[in-house]
Structure formats: structure tokens, C-alpha cells
């Protein structure tokens, strides 16, 4: 089970790394399509770290980019402008989905995967418990992992605010996603 989980996590990280996600320069046109080869800007990128994908079923995970509008992401982030949206490009049937919103002064990423309650507990049971969201929620390393039914929502938020504000941003995003699942 651990080997399969490690392979799934490595594949998800590789997919994410190859997706060409990047921040826009301030003077660039947000409507212009970014070209990975032309960029020399480096930025912190969220990477899916959820290990609870062993019970993945195909075909029923929505595209996270359709669950939150730009206006909702801006509100969740305290009014920061959305400068770019990075989609996973997956087709229906993918067992892991993600969407990342680059913000002026921050970032929000939502990763979705399937899990049972026991798999979630095994993967995240030792992490700090968060109340008030989902069936179970834990946080570690900037990620908020939320179990909602058989879906794990991994909300990663980065902002210039303090850790409590960043955690609240991730929690608000997860609550909004839960409302739409």
C-alpha cells in the first residue's frame, strides 16, 4: 500500500511540476498565455502531498477550477487579484485533480482525490486537527487536508499574512468547495 501511495504522490508531483505553472510579472498582460521557456521568475508552488489516494475511483472528481470563480477566490484571499489560473488539463476519469490560482501577493491551490475515512486517518491522523470543516480536517506544512465524504480536499494557501490568516484562507476555500461538491 505504501509503495502504491508513494507512486501516486510522485506521479501527481511530476504532473504538477510539468504543468508550467508560474507567476505573471507585474507588467505582463494577464490575458497573455504564459510560456514556460520565456520565464526566469521562480516562485513557491503548491504540490499535492495527500497520501490518501489508495481508494481512488475514476470519473467522478470535478475540475476544481470550475468550483471557485475568480471573484470567490479574490474574496477568500482578502481582496487579492487573481493574476493567473493554472489548470491540471486532465480529462474526465482522472483520479487526482487540481487548480491553482496565482494571486497578487499570494496563491491558492485546491487538489481533489478520493479516499476512505480509514485511509485519510492513516495518512493524516497525526497532523494538527482543524475543526469546523468537513468530516475530518488536518493541517501540516501549509496544507489543509479535509475529508468530505470520500473526497479529500487539499487546500494550500500562501499569503503575506500570518499563519492563522493563511490557515483561515485555506479553510474558507475548502468550505466553498464543499458547498459545490
Q: How confident is the model at residue 16 (pLDDT cuts 50, 70, 90)?
A: very low
What CATH number is given to the structural domain containing 65? 3.40.1000
Longest dimension (CA), the chain: 48
Average pLDDT over residues 29-50: 39
Average pLDDT over residues 135-140: 97
Cβ-contact 38, 91 below 8 angstroms = no
- Cell representation of residue 159: 499569503
Q: Which residue has the higher pLDDT, 48 or 51?
A: 48
Q: Is the dihedral of CA 80, 23, 179, 111 positive or negative?
A: negative
Q: pLDDT > 90: what percent of the chain?
A: 59
Task: State the total domains in the chain.
Answer: 1
Q: How confident is the model at residue 13 (pLDDT cuts 50, 70, 90)?
A: very low
Containing structural domain, residue 171? 2-180
Span 51-110, pLDDT tens digits = 333 344 455 899 999 999 999 999 999 999 999 999 999 987 789 999 999 999 999 999
Amino acid at each position: 500500500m505504501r509503495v502504491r501511495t508513494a507512486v501516486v504522490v510522485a506521479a501527481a508531483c511530476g504532473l504538477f511540476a510539468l504543468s508550467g505553472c508560474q507567476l505573471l510579472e507585474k507588467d505582463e498582460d494577464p490575458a497573455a498565455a504564459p510560456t514556460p521557456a520565456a520565464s526566469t521568475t521562480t516562485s513557491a508552488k503548491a504540490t499535492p502531498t495527500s497520501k490518501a489516494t489508495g481508494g481512488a475511483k475514476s470519473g467522478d472528481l470535478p475540475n476544481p477550477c470550475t468550483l471557485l470563480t475568480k471573484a470567490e477566490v479574490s474574496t477568500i484571499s482578502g481582496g487579492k487579484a487573481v493574476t493567473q489560473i493554472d489548470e491540471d488539463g486532465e480529462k474526465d476519469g482522472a483520479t487526482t485533480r487540481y487548480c491553482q490560482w496565482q494571486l497578487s501577493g499570494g496563491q491558492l491551490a485546491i487538489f481533489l482525490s478520493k479516499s476512505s475515512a480509514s485511509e485519510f486517518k492513516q495518512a493524516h491522523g497525526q497532523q494538527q486537527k482543524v475543526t469546523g470543516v468537513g468530516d475530518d480536517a488536518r493541517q501540516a506544512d501549509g496544507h489543509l487536508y479535509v475529508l468530505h465524504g470520500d473526497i479529500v480536499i487539499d487546500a494550500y494557501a500562501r499569503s503575506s499574512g500570518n499563519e492563522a490568516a493563511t490557515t483561515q484562507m485555506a479553510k474558507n476555500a475548502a468550505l466553498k468547495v464543499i458547498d459545490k461538491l
